[in-house]
Structure 1
C-alpha cells in the first residue's frame, strides 16, 4: 500500500439572498457563498485535496465553472462523483483534516452535522473527518466578513 497526502484550498465571498452551505449543511445566515455551484468552500477544498494527492488535477478541471449543467449544483453531488472514482480505483480515505476560517456565523453548532454528511458521502467513518472553525481576528477579507477561506488535508491509501 502507498500513502498519499493532498492539500486543498478554497475561498468564496458572501452574497446576499443565497443559502449558505458548508460541509453539505445549510447554515442559517444572512448571506450565502458566491460560486458557480452552491459555493460550498469546505467541500471544494476537500475535493481539491483528494485530487491533488492523486495528481488528478483540480476541481476546475473536473467541474469547470463554465459548464451550464453544474450551475447551482450542490457540491455534495460533486464530492459523490469524486468518491465514485475513488471506489473504482480502490483508493481508501484514511483521514480528512480541515480548517474553516470565517468571522461569522459560528460553525461549532454545525460541525457534527457537517462531519456526518461528508462521512456518509465518502462512505467512511465520521471519526475520519475533522473540521475546525477559526476566525481571522478581524484581518483581511475574512476579517471584514466578506467571505470564507478553507484549507483541507487528506490522507489516502492506494493499493
Structure 2
C-alpha cells in the first residue's frame, strides 16, 4: 500500500473500528497538541524526528502468534486485547513518539471493547496517517524482536516486506532483527516476547 493512498482519509475507514472510536483518537491527539502549545515555547519545525518504541506480550497456548502481520507457526501466541502483534505495536509507538503524540495505549486503550481482537495494522496505519498529516515521511526503521522461540530467521523477509507495505515504504529502509534472550527471565523462558524499534522521520520538504 502506497503512503499516498493513506493521505486524506482515515485508516479506520476499511477496518473494524467504529467512527466514534476514530473521533476519540482525533480528540486525544488534538488535546495533546493544545496542551503542548499552551505550556511550551513554540517548537521549530524539525527537519528530523526520532522515536523509540517498546512492547512486550505474555505468551500462552491457544493464541495465534502474529508478528508484523504474519501468522508465525508456534505452540503459543500473544495474550492481548487486540491481535497482540508485538512488532506492529512497537512500530506504532515509535512513530507516535517521534511525533510527540499520545502512545498506543492512550489512543487505542485495551479497556475499549471496540479494539477487542482488532488487527494491529489498523493502529499502525493511523500512525502513518498522522505522520503524513504532520508533514513527515519515513526515513528509516530499525526493529529488534526478542524471543527465545520460535526461530524467526526464516520469517524475517516476509515480516519485513509486509511491514514495509503497511508503512508505504521501500523495504530497503526497514530493518528487522531477531534475537533470543539467552534463556534469561520471561523472554528467555519462553513466557513472553518483546520488541524494540527506533524510527527516523524526515520532513517532506527535505526528503
Both proteins in one fold, TM over 0.5:
yes
**Which residue does 1:85 correspond to in 2?**
130
Q: Which runs of 5+ in 1 are unaligned?
A: none
Task: Kindly indicate whether structure 1 or structure 2 has the higher relative contact order, using CA contacts under 8 Å at least 6 residues apart.
Answer: 1
Cα distance in 2, alignment partners of residues 96 and 53 from structure 1: 12
Is the contact between residue 99 and residue 131 of structure 2 (CA under 8 Å) also seen in structure 1? Answer: no
- Note the 1:9-158 alignment, pairs <5 A: 9-158=54-203
Higher-strand-fraction structure: 1
**Which residue does 2:29 correspond to in 1?**
none
Cα distance in 2, alignment partners of residues 39 and 86 from structure 1: 23
> Cα RMSD (Å) of the superposition?
1.1
Q: How many corresponding residue pairs?
A: 159
Per the TM alignment, residue 120 of structure 1 is displaced from its structure 2 partner at its CA by: 0.6
Q: Structure 2 length as normaliser, TM-score?
A: 0.74
Query: SS in structure 2 opposite 1:60?
Result: helix
Q: Which runs of 5+ in 2 are unaligned?
A: 1-45
Cα distance in 2, alignment partners of residues 34 and 141 from structure 1: 14
From the CA coordinates, give the structure whose radius of gyration is larger: 2
Per the TM alignment, residue 158 of structure 1 is displaced from its structure 2 partner at its CA by: 2.5
Q: Structure 1 length as normaliser, TM-score?
A: 0.96
Higher-helix-fraction structure: 2
1:54-105: CA deviations, max 9, x gaps?
1102111111111111101111121112112222333101011011111000
Cα distance in 1, alignment partners of residues 76 and 180 from structure 2: 17
Per the TM alignment, residue 48 of structure 1 is displaced from its structure 2 partner at its CA by: 0.8
Per the TM alignment, residue 155 of structure 1 is displaced from its structure 2 partner at its CA by: 0.3
Is the contact between residue 68 and residue 162 of structure 2 (CA under 8 Å) also seen in structure 1? Answer: yes
Is the contact between residue 69 and residue 163 of structure 2 (CA under 8 Å) also seen in structure 1? Answer: yes
